[in-house]
Amino acid sequence: VNLPRTRTRARRGEGARLRDDIVDAAERLLMERGDEDLVSIRDIADAVGVTPPSIYLHFADKDALLLAVCERQFALLHEHLQQAEVGVDDPLEALGRRGRAYVEFGLEHPDAYRIMFMGRPHREEHHVDTVERAGMQAFASHVAAVQRAADAGRLRPGTDVVAAAIFLWTCVHGITSLLISLAKFPWPERDPLIASLCAASLRGLTAADPAA
C-alpha cells in the first residue's frame, strides 16, 4: 500500500531540511519504542512522509543516523544538567541537584538513555569518537562541578576529583538504568528513593572513614 505522501518536495538547495526532519522523526520513534532494533528505516521514512531510499541521501547507513540522534541527546542532557544548578550557590547542593536532574532526564528519555549509556560496546570507530566527544563535554562540566565543591573545601581531604566525579556518575547511572531495565522490581516510592540515593552518594564524598 502506498500511503499518500503529505510532504511537499523541498526546493532546490533546501534538501538539507529533510535531514533535520529525519533526525526529529528518528528521535521521536526511539522515544516511543524502547529499542533501536524496533525502529526501522522504513518506520522513520514513513514518519517523515518520504520513501526509505531518501534516508540514504543524508546518512550513510542506519548507524550514522542513530549517531546523529545520540549526539543531540547528549547536548540536551548537558543543558538539562546545567539548568539544574543555576542560582544555586552551595556547591554540594548543586551536585545534589545535578544528580537528581540526571536521573530525571534518564527516566524521561529512557530509550535515548539506553542508547547513550546502555548499548553494546560500540561497533564502529568513528561512531565512538563522535559520541565520545559529545559525552565528554557533559562529563567535563560534571567534573568542574565536583571541582568547585573540592575548591570550597567541602569534600574529604585528599579527594581525587575525577574519581569522585565518576563515583557520583555511577551512582546516578546505577539507579537510572535499574529503574529503566527492572521496571517490575518492587522499588520503593521513586522520588524519595532517588533523593536518598543522591544524598548517600554525597555523604560518601564528604564523610570521614567509619570508625573501625
Partner DNA sequence: TGTACATCAGTGAACGCGCGTTCACTGATGTAC
Q: Which residues bind DNA (CB under 7 A)?
A: 2, 5, 7, 9-18, 39-43, 50-57, 61-63
Q: What is the 3-state secondary structure (H, E, C) of the chain?
A: CCCCCCCCCCCCCCCHHHHHHHHHHHHHHHHHCCCHHHCCHHHHHHHHCCCHHHHCCCCCCHHHHHHHHHHHHHHHHHHHHHHHCCCCCCHHHHHHHHHHHHHHHHHHCHHHHHHHHCCCCCCCHHHHHHHHHHHHHHHHHHHHHHHHHHHCCCCCCCCCHHHHHHHHHHHHHHHHHHHHHCCCCCCCCHHHHHHHHHHHHHHHHHCCCCCC
Instruction: Record the cell numbers describing residue 45, joined without a space.
Output: 521514512
**Shortest distance (Å) from residue 57 CB to a copy of itself:** 28
- Pick one of 16, 119, 126, 191: the residue that binds a copy of itself (CB under 8 A): 119
Nearer to DNA, 58 or 148 (CB): 58
Interaxial angle between packed helices 91-108 and 161-181, expressed in degrees from 0 to 180 and rounded to the nearest 10 = 30
Nearer to a copy of itself, 21 or 71 (CB): 71
Location of C-alpha cell 560496546: 121
**Shortest distance (Å) from residue 176 CB to a copy of itself:** 9
User: Which of a copy of itself, DNA, none sits in contact with 120, Cβ below 5 to 8 A by type?
Assistant: a copy of itself
User: Which of a copy of itself, DNA, none sits in contact with 57, Cβ below 5 to 8 A by type?
Assistant: DNA
Nearer to a copy of itself, 54 or 159 (CB): 159
Instruction: Record the cell numbers describing residue 163, joined without a space.
Output: 574519581
Nearer to DNA, 26 or 103 (CB): 26
Nearer to DNA, 31 or 88 (CB): 31
Nearer to a copy of itself, 11 or 203 (CB): 203
Position 158 contacts a copy of itself (CB under 8 A): no
User: Which of a copy of itself, DNA, none sits in contact with 200, Cβ below 5 to 8 A by type?
Assistant: a copy of itself
Position 37 contacts a copy of itself (CB under 8 A): yes
Q: How far is CA 55 from CA 28, 145, 151, in A?
A: 16, 40, 49
Residue numbers at the binding site for a copy of itself (CB under 8 A): 34-35, 37, 92, 114, 117-122, 128, 132, 135, 154, 160, 162-164, 166-167, 169-175, 177-178, 180-185, 187-188, 193, 196-197, 200-210
